[in-house]
Amino acid sequence: MIRLFVFGNGNTTFADFLLYYRVHLLRLADEPDTHFLLSDFKGVDTLAMEVLKTQTTQVSIYHIGEKPRYLPDHYKTKVSEWEIVGGFNTDKERDNAAIEACTHFLGIDFNSDTQRKSGTQKNIEKCLSLRKIDVQKS
């Protein structure tokens, strides 16, 4: 079973999302053994939810606090069957739980530079250090 953690920068453009994420999401959504792990933040997280809402029931949404900041509409979608995993106190705590639960990841960093390492880049590095499989390279 593939447990795919999908993440990225909050300011990822729609064009970059389509180019780097959508193809992998649609390809893997057709695989019965793929389960998607997403957070509820703006950008890649919400765009991925919108792509997957009519494609699969195999989605877990990880969120901070009592309820997700965002979920797609339930009407004529598969969202009502998604698993909601909450109660985390920080983005880092939430992301670490998803990283621990995943076997594969899909994350692209557009924001890091020599002055600053983004949370997305830190997640990529943590996934690689734990030998999680990058679906872009598999």
The pLDDT tens digits of the residues spanning 89-132 come to 999 999 999 999 999 999 999 999 999 999 999 999 999 999 99
| Residue 102 region by backbone torsions, left for phi larger than 0, else alpha for psi between -120 and 50, else beta | beta
Parse the chain into domains and list their residue ranges.
2-113
pLDDT in tens, 36-47: 999 999 999 999
Q: What letter does residue 78 receive in the DSSP assignment?
A: S
Mean pLDDT of all residues belonging to the chain:
96
Q: Number of helices and strands (H, E) in the chain?
A: 5, 6
**So what's the pLDDT on residue 138?**
80
Region 2-113: CATH code: 3.40.1260
pTM attached to this predicted model: 0.96
